[in-house]
Structure 1
Amino acid sequence: MTNSVINKISELAESVLSTTDFFLVDVEIKGGDTPEIWVSVDGEDRGVNMDECAEISNELGFLMDAHELFSGHYRINVSSPGLDRPLIDRRQYPKNAGRKVEVKYEQDGEDLKVEGILQEVTEKGIAVEINEQTTVNLPFEDLVETKIIPSFK
């Protein structure tokens, strides 16, 4: 699928989400005889539940059909990004403060990685506490990937 189709789905999803307290994280299209459209949504202060995903899916599907984006059948899946997905949008960071993270970042042309507790989120970046004596401040523009490390306590 072309980027123009993904861009159009993103645009339609944004319009659906504009009346909610959720935001679009990502749109993916997985090929096959029946294309699968994966739409990830999240909230700044909370996650999205199954009923909300179903409602967003219904509205988005209606708009996609109206815009005739696919000539045949397709499948749409709306969900929260899930723990195994990296944080993509800056709005995902504040609600994850206090959680353990693995952050890949670039500094002076070098790829680095740090693991610790996401302590603080500002407009400019994040602070990750590696241990009681060491906290690393990372600007958003240096971040390559941030993943939550689940804790099963």
Structure 2
Amino acid sequence: MSNKVTDKIAEVAESVLSTTDFFLIDVEIKGGDTPEVWISIDAEDRGVNMDECADISNEISFLMDAHDIFSGKYRMNVSSPGLSRPLVDRRQYPKNKGRQAKVKYKENGEYRKVEGVLREILKDEIIIELEDESTLAVPFDDLVETKIIPSFK
């Protein structure tokens, strides 16, 4: 699918989400005879439950149909990004404070990777506590990828 279709879906999704405390993370369209629209949403200070995803899915589908984004059938999937997805929006960081993370960042033109606990989320950077209890400040502008490591304690 073209970026134009994805952009239109994102625009519709953002209009629906603007009346909630959720924000848009991503829109993907997977091809096939029946296109599948995957919309990832998140909230700054809480998780996303299935009932909320269903309500948002219904609203977005209604508006997509009203705007004739697809001429035929399609499938809609609205969900939280899940732990397997990297954090892509600054608003996702505060609720993950205190959690273990793998962080890839760029420093002086080179890629570096560290693993540690997200100790502080500041306006322009994150502070990671490393295994040796030292801390590392990484500016948001230098972040390449941050993935939360699930804890099953």
Q: TM-score, normalised by structure 1?
A: 0.98
Rounded to whole Å, the distance in 2 between the matches of 1:109 and 1:6 is 32
1:127 corresponding residue in structure 2: 127
Q: What do residues 90-136 of structure 1 show as CA deviations (whole Å, max 9, x unaligned)? A: 00000000000000111111011010000000110101100354111
Give the alignment of 1:2-151 within 5 angstroms: 2-151=2-151
User: What is the CA distance between 1:137 and its match in structure 2?
Assistant: 0.3
TM-score (norm 2): 0.98
Give the partner amino acid of 2:69.
L
**DSSP 3-state at the match of 1:56:** helix
Kindly tell me the number of residue pairs found equivalent between the two proteins. Answer: 153
- Write out per-residue CA displacement over residues 15-62 of structure 1, whole angstroms, 9 at most, x where no aligned residue: 001111111111111111111110000110101100000000000000
Shift of 1:72: 1.1
In 2, the alpha carbon distance for the partners of 1:24 and 1:133 equals 35
Structure 1 counterpart of 2:70, one-letter code: F
Give the Cα separation in 1 of the matches to 2:75 and 2:133: 50
Structure 1: distance between partners of 2:129 and 2:6: 37
* Local SS of the residue matching 2:65: helix
1: distance between equivalents of 2:131 and 2:115?
Answer: 10
Identical positions, percent: 69
Report the more deviating stretch, 129-138 or 90-99: 129-138
> What is the aligned-residue RMSD (CA, Å)?
0.8
